[in-house]
Structure 1
């Protein structure tokens, strides 16, 4: 099955680099390019991509508003946000808009390809550097009080898995850390998504911090 991808970035060179790499990758196909958020929304409706790779900062309609419109639509596209290290103020807004993942623009192109494949399956994804910055953003919000982990209504093992998710571990890494199979790790993640009413793995990262299972680092 080929993953259909729309690229949205106001920098033609960024789009060209991604288009070239994606075009040479097995199982991936670029079906459209947009230079701003409005064009991305239009392409998401007409091309029905599986994944939209979306820059946060674009002229006119930005990536956050475009993401909200795409995820609220009926097309079912997953959105990966492309960010830079100075985009902290945008991260939480993009999550609330329904972004399924965050990548930084200086990541290896192969890692971006892997991320597109992961998100296309319905899993959320955060680059480790973005996870750390997101957690710091939560830590600095005034008046925040984390509920006790036991208030989640999950088992001890599920709490262990949630902690590892919050620290950015993949299902394979969780399985190795807990000496369980990858299939079992995936089952725990699925249960957590259902029990915590989380849309995807990205939300589980946030919950892990909010209940104090993951500490903010500086």
Structure 2
């Protein structure tokens, strides 16, 4: 049984709805020009992501570029739980995290492709202040040593390490999403950021309760 199925479903609906709306818009535009005319408008079921229509600024670019590796690490952590966790709620939460964040990675990569920006902040020389190639400088990112310790853990030890690490990871994502809400201008990016803040705060609350009983 999923711990927070309504949160994952809500976030999937946000990105899927944006993709479907853009696909219709691109179909209507046909072969005419425009900033996004050459981009794919597939929905999430196809495995591709649609660009975010409308204006965007450097805050939107930075949000997507930083949140992609941040989400990727969360997904990597979540995938470890299946064979290592002993607590059923921890396993269920890990499944929810992967289901929510995997598709969001594809969505944000689609945005950056449509904006003509690389998916990696370290490769974006137009934004020298946002080069976070090591990943560890991003809020909530785990170091290589911490990830190795999580991989080595099993059972109750894994449950505690995973929950403690994911709380910090989520708090970092919330910080990044709050920055997007303050400074971003793209409607789709701001909407996703709002969902991240709401849903990950709720998951942090759940994880704190899990820790209390572990």
Normalised by the length of structure 2, the TM-score is 0.29
Q: Identify the structure with the greater strand proportion.
A: 1
